[in-house]
Amino acid sequence: MSRLHTQRGMVLLAVLLAIALCAALAMATSTTFRSLAGIVRIDRERVQADGLLSAGLEAAAGIVAALRDAPLAERSTTLTFATGTVRLTVSDEGGRIDIGKAPVELLTSLLRSVGAEDDDAGIVAQRIVALRDTAGQARPNDASPRPTNAAKPSAPGTPDQPAPAPAPFTDVGQIADIPGMQPQWMAAMAPLITVFGSDGVNPLTAPVAVLRALPSFDAERLDAFLDMRSSPFADPERLSVLLGPAQKYFKAQQTHVIAVDLVAGTAGGYTAAARAFIVLLPDDKQPYRVLAWTPVPRFATTGVVASLEARR
């Protein structure tokens, strides 16, 4: 009888262990499904945010195209969709100081405007020029081979077309590590500089902070300058004259490269941001072309919004 009770006890223990194991498996399965559901939701939110950023970029290109030949003053707008919203800001890179082309005196004045002492500003400006001269030199291995096409020989006496010189900088952050450059100077300069501009600043689209950074800036004429610039029929030559000696650093030109700052937020609270540079070319097969696309880390999205507000 005792043996029978022992067998029954072992069977009961096995049944209880099986029940406990099933319960543990059920709990693990439930946790796995919840985790999987969370991953799927985050992926869905990410896809929606990417879609909002793409929609914002398309809208930005449409805004610029609608301006035709009119100058592009910085402007912002917010678009609302069923999946969320996207805020976009467009501005003309031609209105900023190109660190790859600006003369040393302009770079020196720019550094002084963001807090550098005269001696430090001159030294760092010289180092920027030295760095870009080094970076802009084509290496021997970079030379493109001449085309060889026996069916279509070059016409006698036709000079070979030289390849365009490589741009010395591809991102404004490349000057951040120059000896003597201070982080606070770089942070203040970032909204004022570009690598997609020219050797002069477009007077019709230059931000006020860029105007104040110009050498020989005439602060007393600034208000008159801004009033005249706001006119729909502003004359670039007359505008340049208003700022006196600083006019040598101006170069009226059509809007070429456009900066687009994008901040998207889904209905579920997911946020994403990016900065793009686009170009609209006449008679192009594409409505616009993307020169650069830089996603902004999620933790920095709030800082992007604050930066956009500070630039206005």
**Helix or strand run (H / E) with residue 203:** none
What was the pLDDT predicted at 154? 40
State the pTM of this model: 0.73
Q: Please tell me whether residue 111 adopts helix, strand or coil conformation.
A: helix
Q: Is 106 part of a structural domain of the chain?
A: no
Q: Give the Cβ contact number of residue 81 at 10 Å.
A: 15
| Nearest residue to 106 via CA among 250, 223, 291 | 250
Question: Which segments in the chain show pLDDT lower than 70?
Answer: 1-42, 136-166, 298-312
What was the pLDDT predicted at 294? 93
Q: Is 153 part of a structural domain of the chain?
A: no
Residue-by-residue DSSP string for 128-165: HHHHHHHHHSPPGGGPPPPP--TTSPPPTTPPPPPPPP
Q: Is 196 part of a structural domain of the chain?
A: no
| Nearest residue to 187 via CA among 169, 201, 198, 173 | 173
Q: Is 197 part of a structural domain of the chain?
A: no
Task: Name the strands in the sheet holding 75-81, side by side, starting at the edge strand that comes first in the sequence.
Answer: 75-81, 84-92, 257-266, 271-279, 289-296
Q: Is 180 part of a structural domain of the chain?
A: no
Structural domain that includes position 66:
1-96+253-312
Number of domains in the chain: 1
Q: Is 289 part of a structural domain of the chain?
A: yes
Q: Is 23 part of a structural domain of the chain?
A: yes
Rounded to whole angstroms, how far apart are CA atoms 307 and 295? 15
Q: Is 60 part of a structural domain of the chain?
A: yes
